[in-house]
Amino acid sequence: MRCQPPLPMFLDVALIGFGHVGRRFARLLAERGGMLLAEQGVTVRIVGISTNRHGHVWAAEGVDVPAALSRVEAGRRLSDDEDEWLTPPAIINLMRGVSTGLRVVVETTTLDIAAGQPAIAYVQQAFAAGCHVVTANKGPAAFAYAGLRDEARAAGVSFLFEGAVMDGIPIFNLARETLPGVEVLGFRGVVNSTTNHILSALEDGEAFDPALARMQDVGIAEADPSLDIDGWDAAAKVAALANVLMDARITPLDVRREGIGPRSADAALRAIEAGRRLRLVAAAARLDDGSVEASVGPVELQAGDLLANLRGQANALVLRTDLLGEIAVCQLTGGLTQTAYALLVDLVTICRRHAPLPAGAPRRIP
Amino acid sequence: MRCQPPLPMFLDVALIGFGHVGRRFARLLAERGGMLLAEQGVTVRIVGISTNRHGHVWAAEGVDVPAALSRVEAGRRLSDDEDEWLTPPAIINLMRGVSTGLRVVVETTTLDIAAGQPAIAYVQQAFAAGCHVVTANKGPAAFAYAGLRDEARAAGVSFLFEGAVMDGIPIFNLARETLPGVEVLGFRGVVNSTTNHILSALEDGEAFDPALARMQDVGIAEADPSLDIDGWDAAAKVAALANVLMDARITPLDVRREGIGPRSADAALRAIEAGRRLRLVAAAARLDDGSVEASVGPVELQAGDLLANLRGQANALVLRTDLLGEIAVCQLTGGLTQTAYALLVDLVTICRRHAPLPAGAPRRIP
């Protein structure tokens, strides 16, 4: 028997979406990801990128990522070729033909909160093409978790979305990797940064409209802030959390939802006067009949409550469990790098699960 | 080629120490562990138990655990036989001869905080016998982490100790499993429940000595409370955390340490009057020269600080990281079941790493 050095195993990535999150991910992958994934025995390549407004690019041997970043950030198209045919479905389809290694679709498109699209469709196309899926979108887990989980299992691929809630802070990974056998009975949290920024400003005496305008000026709130202030973003996160951690099988439309508005300024100050704090609390609990009740709305909290003391961008989630009582995870600083890291850590998970190991090696590299 | 059903793979456990934690672990293993470990493809058996005051028992086919629990809790010896020769080293040595499966020493002896013994010696004997080690003791990681980690690697076994800090709340598992590639730059936390209970009582106006006596009455503080109130327990936890998360290579003796005492009552009330809170803060940070500075002592915290609002048994750890900024993990309820769960989750990790999988299976069961 002749000994041959093993062929390099490629992890080929198609980026569907190349906005702020997708680009930060591409940078983080270049800076940190290569080495991190090499420890798992794979060589990572971005082989395709699809954008809404900057065209598309495909290169089975690996895209020139620095050039792609420069082009998009200079407002140019990704490719000088006629590339209109390279839609996301076409790129996902091309993934069938790349390498014999791991194939991953990293999905970061803009989400339609009312239905979870187009993210869900891309996820399903990726499964059908034999690709693992990593997404920063809440939509797939919020609207269609159980079905997608089963489709992924049937296709023998992974479906991961750590970045969907609380950026890169481990929530789904925490439950899956570090809490085996623990049942989540319910949770409550502060999971939307824009509303928390606004509530902090209201507590400092600002009125609602100027506070919102200021948040929009500094880029914390969107031009159309309704997804945040009406509680839709938090409702999608509650649904994703409840579906994954509690097998709830709900959608954001099932979440009892109340947002914040101009009247919240008085409410926030009244709470302070009473020694309490107003926070937009996202919560879920299992009812006696086995179903899960989920809600988003402003709640007056005792001043000593962990959630009451989250100001600005800080987020937290308190899990109520059977074996460990209450556990809280807090993100004191959030942002794009954190979300990009969530995508990267999901790639590591895919390697840990699916990259073959040499004969006789332990199942995991400790 | 004939197909044969695979032989059951055993996970054989020797319990060194069978006090409150060891017994709760044995119960949790019976109630939950069997099923949880079966999902990992193994059948768990306790084959030996060693106690300080209730003798020892060994049965390669599996100890009668309910009987062992009843005997010890009735104040009887574990075995009617002459078993003095079955010391912990003898039991660890017997582990060499059990099954061809996974062999694990679960170590929960009483710790000598001044040197980490006898836990360290047992851990080393277990490695030498080819056993994986799970311990709830802080001593090994606090006094000898780097050396033990290297010994474990050389022996091809795992060395795990999730229960050493904050009971069953994932800290070491969180960093290892969910934060690959993230560097911990420092941390601060409230990690000793007894002192936190006492400080909460002082804030409520109690004097130190009556508060301590009350904690001793209800079993929160030890008869000899000096390990807690002098900061030794927290110092051992800081050393373990710094060694594992920051490669610090320190011992509890290197931790700048100040405890609490009768004068803390005034200090706690003065803090409250100033809108702040006194907490025993355990902290570590990397200095410019690459070394790690670690400390335990009472600190006045702003009222909005996450650590300031921990009362009673609540613990928390705030990690300062390069990629994710500050992350906090909080244990709002603690206790024996949590510590027992930490031992169980370490067994799951051993299976995930070392239990063989059928040919062609993914490296991990998702």
CB-neighbour burial class of residue A211 (10 A; exposed 0-12, middle 13-18, buried 19+)? buried
Task: Report DSSP state, residue B111.
Answer: P
For the cut 90, the answer to whether the pLDDT of residue B272 exceeds it is: yes
Percent of chain A's residues with pLDDT above 70: 95
**Alpha-carbon dihedral sign for residues A116, A121, A124, A129:** negative
Using a 10 angstrom Cβ sphere, with 0-12 exposed, 13-18 middle and 19 or more buried, the burial of residue B274 is exposed
In a domain, B365, yes or no: no
Q: Note the pLDDT of residue A358.
A: 53
Mean pLDDT of B105-126: 90
Q: CATH number, domain at B92?
A: 3.40.50.720
Q: How far are the Cα atoms of A273, A284, A307, A320, A356 from residue A187, in angstroms, in the given order?
A: 27, 5, 12, 6, 37
Residues A342, A330 share a domain? no
Contact: A363, B357; criterion CB under 8 Å: yes
Is A1 a residue whose pLDDT tops 50?
Answer: no
Report whether pLDDT(A14) > 60. Answer: yes
- Establish whether the linkage from the previous residue to B210 is cis, with ω within 30° of 0: no
**CA-to-CA distance for A122 and A315, rounded, in angstroms?**
29
The pTM of the full predicted model, rounded to 2 decimals, is 0.94
Domain-located, residue B14: yes
Q: Judge if B328 and B350 occupy the same domain.
A: no
- Which residues of chain B are within 8 Å of residue A204 when distances are taken between CB atoms? none
Residue B103 sits in the same domain as residue B60: yes
A32 closest CB neighbour out of B181, B309, B334:
B181
Do A182 and A327 lie in a common domain?
A: yes
pLDDT (average), residues A294-300: 98
User: Across chain A, what does the average pLDDT equal?
Assistant: 92
> Over pLDDT 90: what percentage of chain A?
80
The partner residue sitting opposite B363, judged by closest CB among A32, A36, A357, is A357
Mean of the pLDDT values across residues B309-324?
A: 94
> Touching check for B27 and chain A: CB below 8 Å?
no
Distances (CA, A) of B269 to B170, B206, B275, B278: 33, 10, 10, 8
CATH number at residue B280: 3.30.360.10
Contact status, residue A30 vs residue A345, Cβ threshold 8 Å: no
Length of chain A: 366
Percentage, residues of chain B above pLDDT 90: 80
Answer whether residue B207 shows pLDDT above 70. yes
Residue B250 pLDDT exceeds 50: yes
Give residue B356's pLDDT band: very low, low, confident or very high (50, 70, 90): confident
Is B304 within 8 Å of A311 when comparing Cβ atoms? Answer: yes
**Co-location of B39 and B97 in the same domain:** yes
Whether residue B249 lies within 8 A of chain A, CB to CB, comes out as no
Residues A158 and A212 in one domain: no
User: What's the residue count for chain B?
Assistant: 366
Contact flag B304-A318 (C-beta cutoff 8 Å): no
B183 Cβ partners below 8 Å, 6+ apart? B321, B322, B323
Residue B6 pLDDT class (50, 70, 90 cuts): low
Mean pLDDT for the stretch of residues B294-313:
93
pLDDT recorded at residue A356: 74
pLDDT, average across residues B72-88: 89
State whether B304 and A306 contact (CB < 8 Å). Answer: no
Which chain A residues are Cβ-neighbours of B325 within 8 angstroms?
A: 331-335, 338
**Alpha-carbon torsion A350, A355, A360, A361, what sign?**
negative
* φ, ψ for residue A236, nearest 5 deg: -65, -40
Q: Are residues A327 and A342 in the same domain?
A: no
Site from A324, A348, A354 to mutate, B interface, most B CB atoms within 10 angstroms: A324
B364, part of any domain: no
- Are A42 and A30 in a shared domain? yes
Give pLDDT, residue B104.
97
Model pLDDT for residues A168-208, shown as the tens digit of each residue:
899 999 999 999 999 999 999 999 999 999 999 999 999 99
Q: What is the mean pLDDT of residues A93-121?
A: 89
d(CA A310, CA B51): 46
- How far off is chain A from B42, nearest CA to CA, in Å? 14
Higher pLDDT, A116 or A10: A10
Q: What is the pLDDT of residue A363?
A: 56
Angle ∠(A324,A328,A334) on CA atoms, nearest 5: 150
Query: Do A342 and A328 share a domain, yes or no?
Result: no
Residue A1 lies in a domain: no
Report the alpha-carbon distance of residue A141 to residue A164 in Å, rounded: 8
Does some domain include residue B4? no
Q: Do A158 and A61 belong to one domain?
A: yes
pLDDT above 50 for A6 = yes
A341 touches chain B (CB under 8 A): yes
Chain A residue with minimal CA distance to B28?
Answer: A323
Q: How far is B98 from chain A (nearest CA, A)?
A: 20
Over 90: is that where the pLDDT of B240 sits? Answer: yes
Who has greater pLDDT, A361 or A17? A17
Q: What is the structure's pLDDT at A366?
A: 44
Residue B332 has pLDDT above 70, yes or no: yes
**pLDDT over 50 (residue B365):** no
**pLDDT tens digits along A57-70:** 999 999 999 999 99
A365 belongs to a structural domain: no
Report pLDDT for B361: 56
Give me the mean pLDDT over the B84-94 stretch: 91
User: Which pLDDT band, with edges at 50, 70 and 90, does A357 fall under?
Assistant: low
In whole angstroms, what is the distance from residue B112 CA to residue B219 CA?
20
Spatial distance between the Cα atoms of A254 and A295, rounded to a whole number of angstroms? 9
* Mean pLDDT within A319-336: 93
Within a domain: A2: no
Q: Are residues A96 and A112 in the same domain?
A: yes
CB proximity list for B102: less than 8 A, separation 6 or greater: B9, B10, B11, B12, B42, B132, B350, B351, B354, B355
Q: Are residues B92 and B157 in the same domain?
A: yes
Contact B305 A309 (CB under 8 A): yes
Count of structural domains within chain B: 2
Average pLDDT of chain B to the nearest whole number: 92
Tokens standing for residue A201: 């400003």
Q: Rounded to whole angstroms, how far apart are CA atoms B63 and B91? A: 13
For residue B357, the model assigns a pLDDT of 64
Q: By residue range, what is the domain housing residue B241?
A: 175-334
Q: Is-cis flag, bond preceding B118, omega within 30?
A: yes
A24-58 pLDDT, tens digit each? 999 999 999 999 999 988 999 999 999 988 999 99
Cβ pairs A/B, distance under 8 A: 165
d(CA B187, CA A332): 13
Closest Cα of chain B to A177: distance in Å?
A: 7
What band does B162 get if pLDDT is binned at 50, 70 and 90?
A: very high
Q: Which residues of A touch B338 (CB under 8 A)?
A: 323-325
Q: Which residues lie across from A327 on neighbouring strands?
A: A319, B331
Please check whether residue A3 lies inside any domain of the structure: no
What are the angstrom distances between the C-alpha of A358 and each of A26, A292, B300, B315?
29, 44, 53, 42
